[in-house]
């Protein structure tokens, strides 16, 4: 439950990145605390909600998990338009996915939204022996482009809560309050909801 006087913030969050980088897995780890070795590829996009309670605010995330397959690329603007935060994901075992992540960052920058909280996420950190993208390379690119940066593993849960908490903290600072205007959910493990908006 939100504390009296707490600030209520509702924020659209979008995940972008190449197919198979772990976007859905990161969201499922955050929303349900679960990980699936054989996660199906997303078709179109999937929608989830999750609430995070901070000391002074409650953040309700409306999460759009986009499909990484190239054929869905043209749909992406529908999901990042109006977003308060964007997570661009690459897979540390794939240089190609890092190149693709940089393209997403440039596309977001072209939208010219100065208040978009943008995070570069290097996922699959548990696969150290197969690493193709060094931590420092991702970190430096993020620094040069004023992005937040996290190395995560949806599999082991490394840095996943930290990622969403950091976004929530940033949104708490920049978002106007919505006193009494939002129905709040208790933070729960079953808070996710998936809808498929497009067919292949």
Q: What part of residues 138-157 is at the interface with ligand GTP (CB under 6 A)?
A: 153-155
Q: Structure tokens of 66?
A: 């986009």
Q: What part of residues 86-145 is at the interface with ligand GTP (CB under 6 A)?
A: 123-124, 126-127
- Three-state SS string across 49-108, please? EEEEECCCEEEEEEEEEECCCHHHHHHHHHHHCCCCEEEEEEECCCHHHHHHHHHHHHHH
Binding span for ligand GTP by CB under 6 A among 16-24, 114-122, 162-170, 184-192: 16-24
| Rounded alpha-carbon distances, angstroms, from residue 113 to 9, 27, 118, 133, 148 | 19, 24, 10, 28, 16
Judged by CB under 6 A, does residue 191 bind ligand GTP?
no
Q: What part of residues 21-80 is at the interface with ligand GTP (CB under 6 A)?
A: 21-25, 36-39, 41-42, 67-69
Least distance to ligand GTP, CB of residue 39, Å? 4
Phi first, then psi, for residue 138 (nearest 5°) are -65, -45
Least distance to ligand GTP, CB of residue 43, Å? 8
- What residue ranges bind ligand GTP (CB under 6 A)? 17, 19-25, 36-39, 41-42, 67-69, 123-124, 126-127, 153-155
């Amino acid at each position: 439950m939100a504390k009296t006087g707490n600030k209520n913030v509702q924020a659209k969050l979008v995940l972008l990145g190449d197919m198979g980088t772990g976007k859905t897995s990161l969201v499922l780890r955050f929303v349900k605390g679960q990980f699936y070795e054989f996660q199906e590829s997303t078709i179109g996009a999937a929608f989830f909600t999750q609430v995070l309670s901070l000391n002074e605010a409650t953040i309700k995330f409306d999460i759009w998990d986009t499909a990484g397959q190239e054929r869905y690329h043209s749909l992406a603007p529908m999901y990042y338009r109006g977003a308060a935060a964007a997570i661009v994901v690459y897979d540390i075992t794939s240089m190609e996915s890092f190149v693709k992540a940089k393209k997403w960052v440039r596309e977001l920058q072209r939208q010219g939204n100065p208040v978009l909280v943008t995070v570069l996420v290097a996922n699959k950190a548990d696969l150290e022996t197969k690493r193709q993208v060094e931590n420092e390379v991702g970190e430096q690119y993020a620094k040069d482009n004023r992005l937040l940066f996290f190395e995560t593993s949806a599999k082991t849960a490394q840095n996943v809560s930290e990622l969403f908490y950091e976004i929530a903290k940033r949104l708490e600072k920049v978002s106007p309050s919505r006193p009494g205007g939002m129905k709040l959910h208790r933070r729960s493990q079953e808070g996710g909801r998936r809808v498929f908006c497009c067919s292949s």
